[in-house]
Amino acid sequence: MTEAPGTTSDLNKLLALFDLEEPEPDLFIGLHPTEVGARTFGGQLLSQGVVAAGRSVPRPTPVHALNAHFIRGGDVSKPIEYHVTRLRDGKPFANRLVNAMQDGEEIFSMLVAFQDNKAGLEHSVQSPDVAYPEDLPPLGEHFKGFEDRIALFVNAMHPIDIRFANDPTWKARESGERLEHNRVWMRTDGQMPDDPLMHIAALCYASDTTVLDSIITTHGLSWGIDRLFAATVNHSMWFHRDFRFDEWLLYATESPVAAGSRGLGTGRFFTREGLLATTVVQEALIKYFPPKK
């Protein structure tokens, strides 16, 4: 894949993840980046899966929605096979089923719907009133003083420029603040190719980064500091309007419920002009192990 001008090395790594090999029709092979955790990052599965689905659609048709289920933790030392089933190819619609496999076992399954955008009724909920990203510190500023406690986040790949409009989980915990919502500006850390599918894929990747934060900040907890275990169960997205993800989008998230050892995170991506571009819902297994007294 040709590197886009003005991209950072981490963004180029992300774009390389989208450059899937296609050894045979409707079979795509995805690789892992160098920076990995204990299991495949959910955002990687979402983004590579939507690229595989999009590359199987014979004519340019916008992604309308996706509904994904995480079945097993992916092995970060092995490539992932994305098997695409063509469910429908209509004039305004297309539907695809994507199954991600490793060693003959399914680790992830996703339905992806495509639909032409046509004029119709329009309205949108109001975007939250927060400071603009230019007035907010970059993510690295929030790491200072916490490097040892949140080393997993510090050492991760950072292809997305993130500007918190409120304190991230570790700072909120330090101050004793309980946050029932999270507001963060996001864009890719550099210029993206013009292909709309690449912008959808990058947004899918980013959508898995902060959507669960409100579950734990509601209880005054933080990733990397408290003993927490989280594993995504399912993830859904609806794409309402065209956007470029190398331009700022505000990711406004909250958690309406946590019960039965699961937590639900909901999110909305707003354009800088305040229009709702994408809606996200994610459910995850969340376990907290309080310190023994």
What are phi and psi for residue 274, nearest 5 degrees?
A: 95, 10
Tokens of 264: 């639900």
The catalytic residue among 232, 253, 266, 271 is 232
**Cα 227 from Cα 238, distance rounded (Å):** 32
Catalytic one among 7, 48, 210, 282?
282
Tokens of 51: 């690229």
Active site residue 208: yes
Say how many residues make up the chain: 293
Query: How many Å separate Cα 241 from the centre of its chain?
Result: 17
Q: Which residue shows structure tokens 């959910």?
A: 42
What whole-number distance in Å separates Cα of residue 287 and Cα of residue 249?
Answer: 30
Decide if 232 is catalytic: yes
- Rounded CA gap, 19 and 14, in Å? 9
Helix (H/G/I), strand (E/B), else coil: 31:
coil
Among 189, 208, 213, 246, which one carries the catalytic annotation? 208
Task: Give the integer Cα–Cα distance in Å for 223 and 249.
Answer: 24
Q: Which two tokens stand for residue 99?
A: 């199954």
Question: How far is the C-alpha of 94 from the C-alpha of 50, rounded, in Å?
Answer: 13
Show which residues are catalytic. 208, 232, 282
